[in-house]
Structure 1
Amino acid sequence: MTKSTMSRRDLFKFGGVAAMGVAAAGALAGCGQPKLAGTGDAAGAAGDGSTYMGPSFLNKPAEITDFAEEHTYDVVVVGAGESGLAAIHAALEAGATVGVLQSLSIVQTAGNMGASIDLTKTSEAGIKAALSFINYKSDYRANMGQVETWARNSQEALAWWAEAAAKGGSESKPYDYVVNCNGHDVYFHANTYFHDEGHQKGALVIGEQVQEEGAEIFFETPCVQLYMEDGRVAGAIGETKDGGHVLLRASKGVIMAAGDYVGDSEMLEFYTPDAKGLHQAVDFRNGTGLKAAMWVGAQMCPASHTKMVHGEGPKVRFEMPYLFLDRHGKRFMDEGCCRMGYLNEFTNKYLAEVDFAESTAVKFFSIVPTNWQEHYDAWKPFSDISIHNAYRNVDPEAWIKGDTLEELAANMIAFADEEGWAHDYTVEAIVESISHYNELVAAGEGDADFGKRDEYMVPIEAPCYAVPRGANNIDALVDGLWCDDNFQCLDADMQPIEGLFAVGNASGPFFGNSNYPMDIEGLSVGRAITTGFATGRYVAGL
């Protein structure tokens, strides 16, 4: 057998392999995790003669021992977003005292809708089918105990959020829908806030409420380390604006609700290498709390992490399998996979064409006939196509239109130029691609280029539309620290770390596919609120 000459340093050139080999593989049976480096250079010694060769964020800093302030609580929560606010409320309601470290000057949330299962309408078999459906959509990588926690508690948790937000004037516009999972109808209820500044308006109200109920929130004080005592996580250390440090001791546990790491480019390319080149939506979710947890032995979920990529042209989804034309005006795929949640796998190759410097290289157009509604009605019985988002429907008046193919192409180019897309469209290339597609349809011998389902092969004749597509904005990572069924963080031996829990996007594995599945609308926010709610109650009861 030929001996490999690849060094460990070489492995770090390959994002996914490196991610598994360093920070996540320790959570897999039979794999170890390299020792974190001590104070100093990330390439320095780990203290036992071995050499640390990982990314800088795994370089453990010197232990902080000098505190300007010390406070003691039953429960300490790191982060005041959806999951953090839910954890704070539930812990308070269970009788615990709660201290909170929040990196920003206000509470901060994201998203517009949160989903729950209506337990009054869904059968027991339906609930179990929903769990299986989510696991299937997660490439069977989901922790089913965590998913079941969401299923069993989501109705209560989301009802609390809606009621609490409404007290401050942020009224939910309810959206009820049904998803058939394994032949069982599962009834979902979602709180929606598209009309009212998203979840943020309600979050500000809830932030005030939990403080009135007794929670102490230390704003502009990010968690920079966790405090260890007698082998357990016994508190969280925050850094104030003047560089001082405050220690919040926790007698029962610390709940990490600090969100993801989308704002940290090094972490993003390490754990989610296929997100390279996408626009990072926020910089304040920079993985600070996750790093602090890893420095005490917590493991991240195996890479590549599930990413939520948004930013398509229409204000609502238009997911129908018409002709797709890439940044060159060429057809590039079987459009039967038309779901926004998965299209990044087909379009991220274009980022490399622009050296990952322009995220709009993933943008494309869907070329749509004027009788699209007839096709939607015909395809709906056997397809998961979507033309809406919650109660909002598509608006063809917002699409690009042309009375001839040449006019359509010219209008597409004008739109792409105005939007600043990275493209090299020409009228000739666009017209040629549409004409060739129509020739395939007219031949009646199926899709000789990509093998698309025959029913989807319909002619596109002028006048017709072009719908801007292509998601280039990475809004969130929905994988975080590896946790057990109780959302307690696990070490490299898959053993619970005493005193440390994680919820929302700081936790996992709830999802598992490379892209966030959008089959259950509002699942991400619903999961964040519910896991915080359930874990706050659980830790308060320890």
Structure 2
Amino acid sequence: MEKEKKGISRRSFLKGVAVGAAGIAAAGALAGCGQQEKPHPDSNAEKQTGYSWEVPPEPIPEKEIKKTVTSDVVVIGAGVSGLMAALAAVESNVKTVLIEKHSSFTARGGHNGAIGSKLQKKLGIEIDKAQVVRDLVRWAGTKVDERLIMLWADKSGEVMDYLIDMAEAEGMEVTMFNSGSSDKYYTEYVTAHMFGGMNEANLAGMLEKKIRQKGGDIYYKTPAVQLIRKEGGRVTGVIAGEEGNYTLFNARKAVVLCTGDYGNNKEMLERFCPKALDVDMNVYAPALNTGDGHKMGLWIGAALQEEEPHAPMIHNLGGAPMTSNPFLRVNALGERYQNEDVPVPYICNAISRQPRNIAWVVFDGKFADDAPKMGGGFAREPMVTQETLKALEKAIGNKTAVKADTIEDLAQKMGVPVESFRATVERYNQLAKMGVDLDFGKNPRMLTTIEQPPFYAAKIPTALLVVLGGFKVNTKMQVLDTKGKIIPGLYAAGNVTGDFFANDYPVICPGLSHGRALTFGRIAGLNAAAEKV
């Protein structure tokens, strides 16, 4: 998307949002909802508007507030960061309320990244913390807040130990995901912890249970609508619910935003992460991640991270087996276009630059023997099982993969130029027999010929999981305003926060997104509970 088509600049946008509804008057406790100072006379925000969230809504009338709930800490959002924040607060012996727009908590995936946990030590997994931080910062091109990266590296182990102890007391087994990657060309650390297998709902359900047991209150089907902040002062609560039936949740100490990302808000994607629209599918379901927290924070003056566009988490999901393995890859022209030995985000980045965003992975009848040569790594399949073969046949049946007895027939089924594809395969076979990739420099071990029928090709789909961009926070998880000052009474954790990722998602630390959410959620909850008002 052309920059001039995006509308206002980030700085102008933030300036406009911070001041947009300053003149609205209201009475009582709701007087400051969504308000800031009046626009500067020379502000050009008005003539540059175009996005629905730019001007804060009018404060919700007091007559529409049907109920008031007062607690010490209010946490908004029941993903793993919000669950952790609420549990940390309630364990600090303060009255805690957790509100969530969905009918239950949200959980997906199953990897939770940490460094230095008791389980890692037990298994002899030693990780150089400083090297991990350097690698993460390098992946992001130094466009992140290194203090936050180091905070996760320093604190994630003890937070994971806390969760491991809790799980063991519940009879839940905690295991490590190990991709087996030790290739000198690509480092992947053994950081992902799994609770009761590859199902994050096991961990989330355990956290929810503990919150209730310890006296925390959870309100599902309760969407947050407006934060309460009077004339640039403290955030003192949040209004949630729906028109005509709102509840005012007062927070004596603090509000913690854990509302997730905006991956199902097309308008926000167009503005902050247009690349996320250039995928085959959006796999976040139900589609509740619509940027609610981002909008509420902007309306009361919170500052988004400087770095744009925000980093998307895009993986090649939903396709046939072997699509992450570094076999030969070709585009819609039947041409090879990259060194295939790259992590998942790089696979997807390269596909986005190919004609019609189409790419295929190509292998032959000996792929079961060749698969172990492809190395370990996130989403790779170094072993072919009966389940793999069944999945491949299913993919052939639904046309996400094709099979043929000749290269020419395979090309026709793929819909790529036959002559071009034949030449590509011949060249690739030549390089494999030479034992050196003169074209792209791939690890020679992964150069395997495509000669033995039947021949296979699987289309590589791209899928958006979440978008990783949000508010500026300090190491206490306090949200900052556009002048870099703390917004009193407002904390945040998870994907509503920023400055931790840039470019794309670094799979060198599997489970990093959840690991950050858990670690920073706990930090936010503890600090919110410790507020002195």
For residue 129 of structure 1, the aligned residue among 128, 131, 137 is 131
The count of residues paired between Structure 1 and Structure 2 equals 493
Q: 1:133 touches 1:181 (CA, 8 Å); kept in 2?
A: no
Deviations 1:395-426 (A, max 9, x none): 3664465443245446x54xxxxxxxxxx446
- 1:100-111 to 2 correspondences below 5 Å: 100-111=98-109
Q: 1:71 touches 1:247 (CA, 8 Å); kept in 2?
A: yes
Other-structure match for 1:418 = none
Counterpart of 1:530, as a letter, is T
Q: CA deviation at 1:272?
A: 0.5
Other-structure match for 1:523 = 512
Change (3 A) 1:128 1:260: same
Q: 1:221 touches 1:238 (CA, 8 Å); kept in 2?
A: no
Change (3 A) 1:192 1:297: same
Q: CA deviation at 1:76?
A: 1.2
Cα RMSD, aligned residues only: 3.9
For residue 342 of structure 1, the aligned residue among 319, 339, 346 is 346
Change (3 A) 1:19 1:228: same
Q: CA deviation at 1:185?
A: 11
Change (3 A) 1:64 1:100: same
- 1:64-463 to 2 correspondences below 5 Å: 64-66=60-62, 67-119=65-117, 121=121, 126-161=128-163, 164=166, 171-175=173-177, 188=191, 190-192=193-195, 195=198, 198-229=199-230, 231-241=232-242, 243-278=244-279, 279-282=281-284, 283-301=287-305, 302-313=307-318, 319-326=324-331, 328-349=332-353, 362-369=357-364, 387-388=380-381, 395=388, 398-399=391-392, 402-406=404-408, 408-409=410-411, 413=414, 424-425=415-416, 430-438=421-429, 447=438, 458-463=448-453
Other-structure match for 2:395 = none
Change (3 A) 1:389 1:290: farther
Alpha-carbon distance in 1 for matches of 2:453, 2:183: 39
Q: 2:404 touches 2:410 (CA, 8 Å); kept in 1?
A: yes
Q: CA deviation at 1:49?
A: 6.2
Q: 2:321 touches 2:391 (CA, 8 Å); kept in 1?
A: no
Unaligned runs of 5+ residues in structure 1 are 1-9, 27-31, 354-360, 414-423
Alpha-carbon distance in 1 for matches of 2:404, 2:5: 47
For residue 54 of structure 2, the aligned residue among 58, 70, 76 is 58
Q: CA deviation at 1:11?
A: 5.2
SS across alignment from 1:435: helix
Alpha-carbon distance in 2 for matches of 1:220, 1:83: 18
Q: CA deviation at 1:77?
A: 0.6
Alpha-carbon distance in 1 for matches of 2:386, 2:300: 48
Q: CA deviation at 1:463?
A: 2.4
Q: 1:235 touches 1:247 (CA, 8 Å); kept in 2?
A: no
For residue 480 of structure 1, the aligned residue among 470, 478, 487 is 470
Alpha-carbon distance in 1 for matches of 2:526, 2:427: 60
Alpha-carbon distance in 1 for matches of 2:117, 2:435: 48
SS across alignment from 1:395: helix
Counterpart of 1:502, as a letter, is A
For residue 13 of structure 1, the aligned residue among 2, 5, 27 is 5
Change (3 A) 1:72 1:522: same
Deviations 1:30-53 (A, max 9, x none): xx667543399xxxx958464422
Change (3 A) 1:476 1:459: same
Change (3 A) 1:253 1:178: farther
Change (3 A) 1:483 1:337: farther
Q: CA deviation at 1:232?
A: 2.9
SS across alignment from 2:128: helix
Q: CA deviation at 1:293?
A: 0.5
Q: 1:262 touches 1:476 (CA, 8 Å); kept in 2?
A: yes
Counterpart of 1:470, as a letter, is I
For residue 494 of structure 1, the aligned residue among 458, 467, 484 is 484
Change (3 A) 1:143 1:373: farther
SS across alignment from 1:237: strand
TM value normalised by structure 2: 0.79
Q: 1:340 touches 1:471 (CA, 8 Å); kept in 2?
A: no
Q: 1:314 touches 1:398 (CA, 8 Å); kept in 2?
A: no
Alpha-carbon distance in 1 for matches of 2:129, 2:441: 36
SS across alignment from 1:71: strand
Deviations 1:51-102 (A, max 9, x none): 4223222221112351322222221111011100000011111222112221
SS across alignment from 1:72: strand
Alpha-carbon distance in 2 for matches of 1:115, 1:133: 15
Alpha-carbon distance in 2 for matches of 1:406, 1:312: 28
SS across alignment from 2:69: strand
Q: 2:323 touches 2:361 (CA, 8 Å); kept in 1?
A: no
TM value normalised by structure 1: 0.78
Q: CA deviation at 1:164?
A: 4.8
Alpha-carbon distance in 2 for matches of 1:256, 1:268: 20
Q: 1:19 touches 1:270 (CA, 8 Å); kept in 2?
A: no
Change (3 A) 1:100 1:425: same
| Identity in percent | 23
Unaligned runs of 5+ residues in structure 2 are 24-37, 393-401
Q: CA deviation at 1:447?
A: 3.8
Alpha-carbon distance in 2 for matches of 1:124, 1:174: 13
Change (3 A) 1:111 1:124: closer
Q: CA deviation at 1:284?
A: 0.7
Other-structure match for 1:5 = none
Alpha-carbon distance in 1 for matches of 2:508, 2:127: 19
Q: CA deviation at 1:159?
A: 4.1
Alpha-carbon distance in 2 for matches of 1:453, 1:22: 47
Q: CA deviation at 1:191?
A: 1.5
Q: 2:362 touches 2:458 (CA, 8 Å); kept in 1?
A: no
